[in-house]
Chain A
Amino acid sequence: MWIRIAISFIAMLAAIALAPLIGSSALSIGDVLNKDPVATSIFWEVRAPRVLLSAIAGGGLAVAGLLFQALLRDALATPYTLGISSGSSLGAVMAICFGWGAVWPFALAGGIAALFVVLGIAQKARRMSSFTLLLAGVTVNSMAMAFILFLQSATTMGQSLTVVRWLMGSIEVVDARALALLAAVVIPLTALLLWRAADWNLLAVGEDWAAARGVSVERTQLIGYLAGSVLTASITTLTGPIGFVGLIVPHALRLWLGADHRVLLPCSLFGGAAFLVACDAIARVMMAPADVPVGVVTALAGGPFFIWLLRSRQP
């Protein structure tokens, strides 16, 4: 167990250490250490923040995906299944189209609004059943997308391109304060989820199964859904909805490690970080000097994987 967690941790460290050297202009570690002004500035002001944002976002998305898969007992669930990210996107698109200035506060507000709508719908049902939540999520998703398409069709060409870029999900350079805030959300929430890992195992089998083994099902589910949603909303706010990380990483790890969340959860955190850091490095060089949104890279890697998964899924 500890060996596997250590392996994924080392994979993350390796990705974080190597990725800043990759990009449209090659950097050598020697130039950075010799305080070459151009190299130092690219390294610390451009590459390092991007790599750290990829690491935190990738780790958080993989953890959220893993959690939603367990809670919804659906191996195809993603961090976006409940519609949280659609809410963020709608907020962001409104901010872009109406020229409200900074996008992130509206993305955050949109994500939180979507969370309340979904929980509101689910609370109306007698229990917070995964089926109701799934349907509520699908509804919120499609309604938000309808609004987004409407806004996009009514806006100018330039803004429309910004909207598309946002919807693809991309890692932009952010300041240290935003990074620190995001880390302050992702790390404690992951620690909380890890502390309850045995409960996710039981809930992944079934609600009655968990209840008969001492889990306060409704309270634990609420904690899980809230934590997963806050993770998703805060990451999407900074990056847009980057696809497939929350699906592929937990899945690939489950094939390797089995289904025990006490191992899967830390490995998803580290593996998701390594994966998105690598994808963002590819996005930087794929069409250099142009910068491809990282969502394109994760989708290109994730699409075929998803199809394979659907085909090999147990009946």
Chain B
Amino acid sequence: MIDLRGVRCGYGAREVLRGLDCRFAAGEFVSIAGPNGAGKSTLLSLIAGLRDGFTGECLVAEKPLASWSRREFARIVSFVPQSVRIEFPFTARQVVLMGRAPHTGWAGESPDDATHADDAMQRTDSLEFARRDFRSLSGGEKQRVLLAAAVAQAGRILVLDEPATFLDIEHQRLIYRLLRDLAASGVLVLAATHDLNLAAAYSSRVLLLKEGVIAGDGAPATVFSAQLLQDVFHVPAVIEQRDGRTWVRHVD
């Protein structure tokens, strides 16, 4: 679904992505991890079509990024920013309904759009504050609403920038299960995260970035090693395989 070839991208003279080659297929749940400034957000916003001025090739559904029309692209790729600051009194439900914009004509939302929105809010446990002013929600509630907007958008590719940062553990679990279910239904999920155990528990693949290049790529059980974590994060860590899962524990 996504094919990156020799992608380089930067801000002015500073190069953030320094030559990435990788492919992502439908149904994968890829966690993207790495230290601050490794290029996670830049990579995700590039894939979401929000950055111009990169070199190399980025094919999305076999087509180069530049050849997509904005509206067609928004029908297959949904992007969830880490947070948004809204100045105006939109309700949570109105924010979710905005996810339907690429499917909606000028006449407004159809009953089908409303169904998608309600269903997405149900799945992210945000239905109870549907009518509240988005600005009055807590960080975690806002994050669930933003995710609901992306789920309502119903794309085949879901790109998320640290979707669990502000969530309590109950909702981290809920959201990561939702992402896993979406991947199981054929959606390609790409999520940046700092929580390596969350990544290991739910995602099918982990991509580790370090200074704009790929430092590790593969299933959680194979990609995490004490040596690699030392190299990438400069942290001594112990990797354990327990209950059929990979656990990362950093040690003092």
Which residues of A approach B to under 8 Å, CB–CB? 69-70, 73-75, 195-198, 201-202, 204-206, 208-209, 211-216, 254-255, 258-260, 262, 314
Contact = CB atoms under 8 A, between A and B. Distances in A.
A221 B49 CA distance: 18
A211 B88 contact: no
Given A205-B95, A205-B98, A214 B86 contact: no
Given A208-B79, A258-B94, A262-B108, 16 more contacts: A198-B101, A198-B104, A198-B106, A204-B86, A205-B86, A206-B81, A208-B45, A209-B84, A213-B101, A213-B153, A214-B73, A214-B74, A216-B70, A258-B90, A260-B94, A314-B135
Nearest to B108: A262
Contact of A212 (B49, B91, B94): B49
B252 interface: no
B75 interface: yes
A314 B79 CA distance: 27
A238 to B, nearest CB: 30
A211 B86 contact: no
Contacts of A69: 88
A213 B98 contact: yes
B87 A73 contact: yes
Given A213-B99, A260-B94, A204 B48 contact: no
Most A C-beta atoms less than 10 A away, residue of B95, B101, B135: B101
Contact of B89 (A196, A197, A213, A254): A254
Q: Which 4 residue pairs across A and B have the least CB separation, nearest first?
A: A214-B74, A214-B102, A214-B71, A259-B88
Contacts of A216: 70
A209 B88 CA distance: 14
B230 to A, nearest CB: 35
Given A198-B104, A205-B98, A260-B94, A212 B88 contact: no
Contacts, number: 79
26 contacts: A73-B87, A74-B87, A75-B87, A197-B106, A198-B101, A201-B94, A202-B98, A204-B87, A204-B88, A204-B90, A206-B81, A206-B84, A208-B45, A208-B50, A208-B81, A211-B49, A211-B70, A212-B48, A212-B50, A212-B78, A213-B153, A214-B70, A214-B72, A259-B88, A259-B90, A260-B90
Given A208-B81, A209-B84, A258 B89 contact: yes
Contacts of B135: 314
Contacts of A196: 106
A47 B75 CA distance: 53
Contacts of B108: 198, 262
B84 A213 contact: no
